[in-house]
Amino acid sequence: MKPNHFISTLDSKVAAVIVLYFPDEALLDRLLNSLRGAVSELFIIDNTPNDKLTWVSIDWFVSKNHHVVYHPLGDNYGIAKAQNVGIELAINNNCDHVILFDQDSAASQDMIVELLSEERALLVNGVKVGSVGPAFIDEKTGEYAKVIRYGNIFVNRISVSSNDVKPIQADYLIASGSLIRIAVLQEVGLMRDDLFIDWVDIEWALRAGNLGYLHFVIPKAVMLHSIGDDCVDIGVRKVNLHSDIRNYYIVRNACNLVLNSVMGRRFRTNIFLKIPTYVLFYSMTSKSRFASLKLLLRACVDGVSGRLGKAF
């Protein structure tokens, strides 16, 4: 990858924002190497608690020859708060785009160039672009993740393959790998940090969609990514598993968002019907079923009553 190749050809200044929480050093090193020369600024926002056992310091990045701005928050304030800190740093450094990353992702060669190029083409054709993102391959399954469009009741899952070349419209993109113009963020607003984690990217995308912005997966841009702690086969689908506390946030935030008219009728209907399934499935797959059920019922109450933020 040629250093800053897209800067001269597409005249964009892109800031990468990477959120950390006790990261795997090898995976983080892989991500940073995949971004080497591909962005103008690289902001590392660290949610790892500062308990004198923090995994890393700026010296680690220096030892790996990674030129970054390292911004430790000192505690876990949630992914949305960390993303917002990074976005604000990008704005203060006169960037025109941000691209968000989780610590366990890895960009393919020229991924950002492809995203910028396709975004530019869509804008030239009069499309009101909210965000563009890569097709991503789940490292646990080795499969391309499907593109999500909400139907009247059920979700439409659109398959992606290496043979696809045209952008595919999605109702939302996963946060990691999503490229967003600063101007869009300034109109739509930043991420909702009271959600803490889970549904943050979906909420932002649907909020942007309410203002007429569209989101696209760019199949020519590919990214490796890992979702969940494990996965199980349910019929023809692979379903990702998470810890009990992550399941709490998923259920709580789902219950809160179905009450928000900005999210749109299709999303709200679909998620409302799924919440009982979430509670049942997550309880049954937990190692502590009864405790998990109690936690998820509390999540429902907290979501409906608006008790958000960090749970414990």
22-36 pLDDT, tens digit each: 888 999 999 999 999
Number of structural domains, the chain? 2
- Of 162, 196, 225, the domain-final residue: 225
**How would residue 10 be classed by pLDDT, with cut points 50, 70 and 90?**
low
Q: Write out the residue range of the structural domain in which residue 18 sits.
A: 5-225
Is residue 227 predicted with pLDDT exceeding 90?
A: no
pLDDT of residue 2: 34
% pLDDT > 70, the chain: 90
pLDDT of residue 181: 98
Residue 310 lies in a domain: no
- The residue that leads in pLDDT, 237 or 303, is 303
Residue 311 lies in a domain: no
Examine the domain organization and report whether 156 and 248 are in the same domain: no
pLDDT of residue 233: 55
Give per-residue pLDDT as tens, 163-203: 999 999 999 999 999 999 999 999 999 999 999 999 999 99
**How would residue 236 be classed by pLDDT, with cut points 50, 70 and 90?**
low
Examine the domain organization and report whether 18 and 162 are in the same domain: yes
pLDDT of residue 5: 37
Examine the domain organization and report whether 197 and 100 are in the same domain: yes
pLDDT of residue 301: 98
Average the pLDDT over 104-123 and give the result: 95
193: which residues sit within 8 A by CB, 6+ positions away? Answer: 77, 78, 80, 81, 84
- CATH code of the domain covering residue 9: 3.90.550.10
- Of 225, 260, 289, the domain-final residue: 225
- Tokens, residue 172: 């939302």
Examine the domain organization and report whether 185 and 243 are in the same domain: no
Examine the domain organization and report whether 127 and 259 are in the same domain: no
Is residue 7 predicted with pLDDT exceeding 70?
A: no
Examine the domain organization and report whether 130 and 279 are in the same domain: no
Examine the domain organization and report whether 76 and 214 are in the same domain: yes
Examine the domain organization and report whether 166 and 251 are in the same domain: no
Residue 30 lies in a domain: yes
